[in-house]
Structure 1
Amino acid sequence: MSQALIFDMDGTLFQTDKILELSLDDAFNHLRELDQWDTETPIEKYRKIMGMPLPKVWETLLPGHSSELREQVNDHFLERLIKNINSGKGALYPHVEEAFSYLTEKGYSIYIASNGLTEYLQAIVRYYRLEQWVTETFSIEQIQTLDKADLVKTIIEKYSVKKAVVVGDRLSDINAAKENGLASIGCNFDFAREDELSQADRVIDDLIDLKTIVPALDQ
């Protein structure tokens, strides 16, 4: 039996899309108030780079702005994300609770490895009471390289994991599995791309499918 399942958060467990546009608009309205932005909010550009660590996101969205301003926008964005989570404007994907309950009952340990920031991840875990199933949530902030493969390695080393499956929607999740010698399950959800999912060992359209897919990977 696999000892662990390591889940991505955004676009895998949490429907980030429900609060993304609201929060991003707020962040760019802040820039407009500072006379640092005068066009539309680059929501589609952000969708294409979902999964990147936020420092990389702001480098991409604001290439001509100072690092100090990017940090200011990042702080504002994070504040709005958390407010929207706590206001109930977000949502988990269907069947997260059912899948987690089943997997823990079968003896699997569950971890989260995300490119999201710690405070943001804690807000989601707390609001949806995921701590009842999740052993620990790991943020990309915890490692210097900002490489998800290294973050997954941190989990493996801390908990002496011998066998695991990484579940996520983007190539960074699939590569994190490969670089650590683990199996991967791609989630064909909102931000997923077909060319990236094709590199996963298995692909699912609903988290409830984990009830059959995970045991099959153990055989």
Structure 2
Amino acid sequence: MKQAIIFDMDGTLFQTNTVLEQALDATFEVLRESQLWVGETPIEKYREIMGVPLPVVWETLCPDLTNEVRERSNEYFQKKLIEMIRLRKGALYSNVVEVLKALSYKYPIFIASNGEQEYLQAIVETYELNPLINKIYSIQLIPTGNKSDLVKSIVEENELEHAWVVGDRLSDIQAAKENELISIGANFDFAQQEELKLAEFVINNLEELMIIIP
């Protein structure tokens, strides 16, 4: 039986909160300087919706701005995130490398993320995860922008018969369920307890995967 483990990136392997606030604040400062935004940076609102596709993020944060402005804001935001990642201002969660190394001896490891490809690649390269990950799949690959469809493409492309999907938000859990895979909820920074209740397993640290996954 061909099996694999599919990981989310933000809030599951990478501590996005270590770079999020600074990059978001820098982006909204540009909007304030352009007189396109008044008030504080909506960081808490971003935390609440963490895990949704980026177009939805900017529609939610800036409903009154034009699509063009939202797209420019996202481009600047991504640039700032990548800049900080390359400078190692971010961080992986505890024991990510050790756990991935142990699991990768037996299972292929894939990333399925709502993040953009360049951003995901920056994390993998900066924290030297390339030898442990078989392939990164960004939501940019899927016209629907739906994570369930992204996971489906991983299953089909790699002819998987069974897999575990590890992630912190509802989109990860739904992606597992809709593809008849095992969902493992990561009870980390951005996790919502109501969403985690829908997962088949819940972990409080990555080392617990060694118990759940044989």
1:81 alignment counterpart: 81
The one-letter code sitting in structure 2 at the alignment partner of 1:26 is A
Q: What is the TM-score of this pair, normalised by structure 2?
A: 0.98
User: Residues 42 and 168 (structure 1 numbering): CA distance in 2 closer, same or farther, change over 3 Å?
Assistant: same
Give unmatched runs, 5+ long, in structure 1.
Answer: none
Q: What is the TM-score of this pair, normalised by structure 1?
A: 0.96
Q: Tell me, what secondary structure is at the counterpart of 1:59?
A: helix
1:165 alignment counterpart: 164
Within a 5 Å distance, the mapping from 1:22-41 to structure 2 comes to 22-41=22-41
Q: Is the 8 A contact 2:2 2:159 kept in 1?
A: no
Q: Tell me, what secondary structure is at the counterpart of 1:167?
A: strand
Within a 5 Å distance, the mapping from 1:3-152 to structure 2 comes to 3-105=3-105, 107-152=106-151
The one-letter code sitting in structure 2 at the alignment partner of 1:160 is E
The one-letter code sitting in structure 2 at the alignment partner of 1:47 is R
Percent identity over the alignment is 56
Q: Distance in 2 between matches of 1:174 and 1:64?
A: 31
The one-letter code sitting in structure 2 at the alignment partner of 1:142 is L
1:24-82 deviation digits (Å, cap 9, x = unpaired): 00000010111101100000000000001111100000101100000110010000000
Give unmatched runs, 5+ long, in structure 2.
Answer: none
1:114-141 deviation digits (Å, cap 9, x = unpaired): 0001110010011011111100000000
Q: Is the 8 A contact 2:162 2:181 kept in 1?
A: yes
Q: CA deviation at 1:2?
A: 6.5
Q: Distance in 2 between matches of 1:88 and 1:33?
A: 28
The one-letter code sitting in structure 1 at the alignment partner of 2:133 is V
Q: Is the 8 A contact 2:147 2:171 kept in 1?
A: yes
Q: Is the 8 A contact 1:5 1:165 kept in 2?
A: yes
Q: Is the 8 A contact 1:2 1:165 kept in 2?
A: no
Q: Distance in 2 between matches of 1:213 and 1:99?
A: 13
Q: Tell me, what secondary structure is at the counterpart of 2:80?
A: helix
The one-letter code sitting in structure 2 at the alignment partner of 1:59 is E
Q: Distance in 1 between matches of 2:72 and 2:28?
A: 11
